[in-house]
Amino acid sequence: MEVIIERVCGIDVHKDNVTACIMTPKGKEIQTFSTKTVFLLKLMDWIKSHGCTHVAMESTGVYWKPIVNLIEAEEIEFLVVNAQHMKAVPGRKTDVKDAEWIAQLLRHGLLTASFVPDRNQRELRELVRYRRSIIEERARQHNRIQKVLEGANIKLGSVVSDIMGVSAKEMLYAIADGEEDPTKLASMARRSLKRKKDELELALQGYVSTHQRMMLKTILTHIDFLTEQIEILDLEVTQRVSSYQEDIERLDSIPGIAKRMAEQILAEIGTDLENQFGSAPRLCSWAALVPGHNESAGKRKSTKSKKGNKYLKSALTEAAHSVAASKNYLGAMYRRSAARKGRKRAGIVVAHAMLRIAYYLLTRKEMYVDLGEEYYDKQKEKSIVRYSVRRLENLGYTVSISEVS
């Protein structure tokens, strides 16, 4: 097989050590290094001493990141590769064989690099993903509060729309501090909730034990702490994306995508989409918002979606479900798809459309313009007319059509 790259290094990455195989016209050389920084620096010196121009490694957990951080400082091209894309021939598996196999594939130009953004975007990704995990944890704590209240037969959630709204939260703190009088608790209602005072008094009659008060206080304190951390991360993320404010506004113009969601999308895909992905379909494939491909003997078989960027996929499907009742193009697409395929698949269909829209907005530097809820009806207007006329004629009617002026 033809050699494409003369001097390469394949690295098998693990938590505590890495095994590297260098291949040059003179032959191959294999060494194992600890993953401590001082030894990784020796690995870099060893790679440079052999004049390697390309380095490849598996995308194993987060263990590839320290190596990439060091390689970025050198004039060496690196490839982080999905392990599923370079499975070795079945046989005895060792770290040495893995490193050698990676080096061989790299030398013959048979590896496809995974998308590894620059350091600034990687840092932004980590911040945004961590913020999302904290937001999800806060939502879990909200559910725990609801469980504690149900256990005490407090039906506050049946009256208020948001269990952590200003009025409801004040009542919860009062309950945690020992207040038992439903009238006093209901008097804490504000604004429109005051009209439900009688309902609140009935809902707030329960039997709250000592351990339930303690749990309420602990959970509320934890929620306040998580909210503070989210606000700190919001500020940091806002500062980091300040130079991309116009792109954030473009994404924010898409129905279902708010500022936080726009920041997450930008952190995952970056802004240089044409060079990185080349087209909207490729971006959607990378995000796993396309069907899996399973074809044999000319027949396409049913298969689940392919694997991809789970953070981007989950964010977009969440945004897609949020437009289910919206009176716009995406809302109409969701309802049309849900009627034929169900809500779950409709979410994927609309998420796919959202990502394609995001690609074109970011590459063309345009704001989103909605096509309208009636778009699909207008597209099919002629076929609907033909179908309706044919049905009436089959029933024995003579039909003449004229446009209403």
Query: Is a pLDDT exceeding 90 seen at residue 206?
Result: no
pLDDT at 307: 76
Q: What is the pLDDT of residue 72?
A: 87
Q: What is the pLDDT of residue 377?
A: 79
Q: What local confidence, expressed as pLDDT, does residue 295 receive?
A: 54
- Tell me: pLDDT of 88 over 70: no
* Per-residue pLDDT at 172: 93
Average pLDDT, rounded, for the chain = 89
Give yes or no for residue 23 having a pLDDT over 80. Answer: yes
**According to the model, what pLDDT value does residue 297 have?**
52
pTM (predicted TM-score): 0.82
97 versus 360: the higher-pLDDT residue is 360
Res 405 pLDDT > 70: no
Q: How confident is the model at residue 373 (pLDDT cuts 50, 70, 90)?
A: confident
Return the HEC string of the chain: CCCCCCCEEEEEECCCEEEEEEEECCEEEEEEEECCHHHHHHHHHHHHHCCCCEEEEECCCCCCHHHHHHHCCCCCEEEEECHHHCCCCCCCCCHHHHHHHHHHHHHCCCCCCCCCCCHHHHHHHHHHHHHHHHHHHHHHHHHHHHHHHHHCCCCHHHCCCCCCCHHHHHHHHHHHCCCCCHHHHHCCCCHHHHHHHHHHHHHCCCCCCHHHHHHHHHHHHHHHHHHHHHHHHHHHHHHHCHHHHHHHHHHHCCCCCCHHHHHHHHHHHCCCHHHHCCCHHHHHHHCCCCCCCCEECCEECCCCCCCCCHHHHHHHHHHHHHCCCCCCHHHHHHHHHHHHHCHHHHHHHHHHHHHHHHHHHHHHCCCCCCCCCCHHHHHCHHHHHHHHHHHHHHCCCCCCCCCCC
pLDDT in tens, 221-267: 999 999 999 999 999 999 999 999 999 999 999 999 999 999 999 99
Mean pLDDT for 41-57 is 92
State percent of the chain over pLDDT 70.
Answer: 93
301-309 mean pLDDT = 68
- In the chain, what percentage of residues exceed pLDDT 90? 54
Reported as a pLDDT band with limits 50, 70 and 90, residue 380 is confident
Residue 321 has pLDDT above 60, yes or no: yes
- Residues 120-157 pLDDT 10s: 999 999 999 999 999 999 999 999 999 999 999 999 88
Whether residue 367 is predicted with pLDDT greater than 90 in this model: the reply is yes
What pLDDT score does 299 carry?
Answer: 60
pLDDT digits (tens, 9 = 90+) for 306-319: 678 889 999 999 99
**What pLDDT score was predicted for residue 293?**
52
